[in-house]
Amino acid sequence: MDDAKLNAELPGAPVSRPRPRRFRWAMLVAGVTLVAIANILLKYPAGSRRLCGLPAHATTTAEVCPQASALVPEKNGALWSELTALHATDAFLQRAVGRLSAAVQIPTETYDEMGPVGEDPRWITRGPFVEHLTTAFPLVHAALNLQKVNTYGLIYTWQGSDATLKPLLLMGHYDVVPVAPLSADQWTYPAYSGYFDGENIWGRGSSDDKSGVIGIMTTIEVLLEKNFAPTRTIVFSFGFDEEAGGYHGAGHLGPALLERFGPNSFAMIVDEGSGYTDQFGAIFAAPAIAEKGSVDVTIEVQTPGGHSSVPPEHTSIGILAALIVHLEANAPTPVLKLGSPPFEMAQCLAAHGPAVPHALKSAVLRAKHSKKALKKAEGMLLEDPMFRALVGTTQAVDIVSGGVKSNALPEQALAVVNHRIATQSSVNATITRDAALVKDLAARFNLSVTAYGEPLTPAAGAYGTLSLSAPRSLEPAPITPSAAPPFQLLAGTIRTVLGATYGDVQEVFVTPGMMTGNTDTRFTWALSEHIFRYGHGNMIGGLGGIHTVDEHIKVDSFIGMISFFTTLILNADEAAL
């Protein structure tokens, strides 16, 4: 999700920021972080089945949101136990923190519309970061094959002993969003200090996503120190411009992996994404099995110019304003669909969240068997703005421009409408809907309409023109099956790691989730049917300042990431995938 030398230590005082209850629910439904591990599956008492709205044939919540069993490595059980103990030591903590702190101090900022690598000088900040990886992880660079793609994209391959097993692909990105100059003095510690106060590592990228990259690299370095040799090949792919769409980084890494390994060649892919938090009386985690699509629709109005002292009834800007008002008054209506990732997440929360309000629990659990209950559940869930945004296709007018002089009629005005496309919709359905909406209104202003290169109305006799274009778009991602072995392996791994921390205090559950935005996995769809966006971040209490002032990560969360990657690699090494 800088300008300093690589440094590492530092003391201080922890800072906590409570978050309102509603925001924490929003974090869950947005898929920005959640994933759970169930230690014990709760049964509704026989007399409460009717009260909670379960269908007559359902006897346990396991039938609504079945939970994978906690999964502990067997063949590598002794190594796993040894490493689990090592991760709990202060010496290991200091070593891991030092590597992340040094990484944060390297400013790898990504801006929109950067030029090609080798031409735009802003890319050179990646060089010091790649060098940091080389010096901080010597065993990785001695034992693994490193392929550099488009200069700064990195593919590490750890060859397994059994070539018949599909590899595991772990991903991350090491670029960061820029620090706004006007907000630089608002940081508790300088944005690129990598300051460690004993409980948190502070700085841009500490959470998004240098912690993921350094966490993976630390995991591999330690496994190599313990002479672990994988049975299953493991591949690591690190992009360097995810924050601007990944076109220069993962946009080249994905095709390189496809050329080298072929289609559907990976057993599973895990990239950055959601984590876990406490919700409704339990710990919930939600590995994202889906991502919304996106498209930017540019709406441009052109009309005759002239002197502003003799204006027409409507200028191009006035017409564009009317079109924007019309679009916003007719925004897409979100619909909660059975079987969609948001619905499955709601079912899991209703089934396993002890503190879910009764009315919501009853409606959600009955929804599969009752249209009336589905409509009631939809109404209650869509009251939350974040859940509403998760379920439906959204639209936001983010850019407007027009006019050059106060006394000259504007000959051109345009707006850019950003859509995040629901999993049950498509790019074509979204842009076609926009065209239909503005076409009807354009007739009122006597404008000819061209939509995406196709004329919709005749140009002859028109006062002006209205054109729509969508130069860049992305379909919703394929939905990863949550009943398949890779999801069960991931969920069982999460159960094991979180169960060790929270199992005696709160129950832990895993639910399929989804992302409202997109990760670098958009370039890997052809590589596997089993793609997950999950970073094992601790989001209890907040998002850690991602993309804003005071970005930080709790040290316990960072060490937990390393334990997660360790357990995942060892579990995958002996699993039938």
Which pTM does this prediction carry? Answer: 0.88
**Is the separation of the CB atoms in 168 and 237 below 8 Å?**
no
Q: Tokens for 166?
A: 């599909």
How confident is the prediction for the chain on average, in pLDDT? 89
Q: Tokens for 326?
A: 């019309």
Q: Tokens for 78?
A: 């002794």
**287 to 28, 211, 432, 513: CA distances (angstroms):** 11, 17, 32, 5
Residue pLDDT, tens place only, 5-56: 223 222 233 333 333 333 333 344 434 333 222 222 222 232 233 333 444 3
Q: Over pLDDT 70: what percentage of the chain?
A: 89
Domains of the chain (ranges; CATH) run 21-290+478-573 (3.40.630.10), 293-332+393-474 (3.30.70.360)
Helices (H), 150-234: 210-225
Q: Tokens for 411?
A: 């000959």
**What long-range pairs does 226-230 form, CB within 8 A, spacing at least 24?**
226/79, 226/82, 226/83, 228/76, 228/79, 229/161, 230/158, 230/159, 230/160, 230/161, 230/569, 230/573
Question: What is the phi/psi pair of residue 237, to 5°?
Answer: -125, 120
Which residues are designated catalytic? Answer: 175, 242
Q: What is the pLDDT of residue 45?
A: 31
Q: How far apart are the first and last CA of the chain?
A: 30
Residue type, 217: M
Q: Tokens for 105?
A: 């101090």
Residue pLDDT, tens place only, 175-202: 999 998 989 999 999 999 999 999 999 9
**Is the separation of the CB atoms in 297 and 451 below 8 Å?**
no
Between strands 268-279 and 168-173, the pairing is parallel
Binding residue ranges for Zn(2+): 173, 208, 243, 271, 547
| DSSP code per residue over 533-556 | EEEEEE-TT--TTTTSTT-EEEHH
Q: What is the pLDDT of residue 504?
A: 81
CA 58/CA 66 separation, integer angstroms? 12
Q: What is the pLDDT of residue 503?
A: 82
CB contact set of 359 (below 8 Å; sequence gap of 6+) = 380
- Averaged pLDDT for residues 426-450: 96
Binding residue ranges: 173, 208, 243, 271, 547
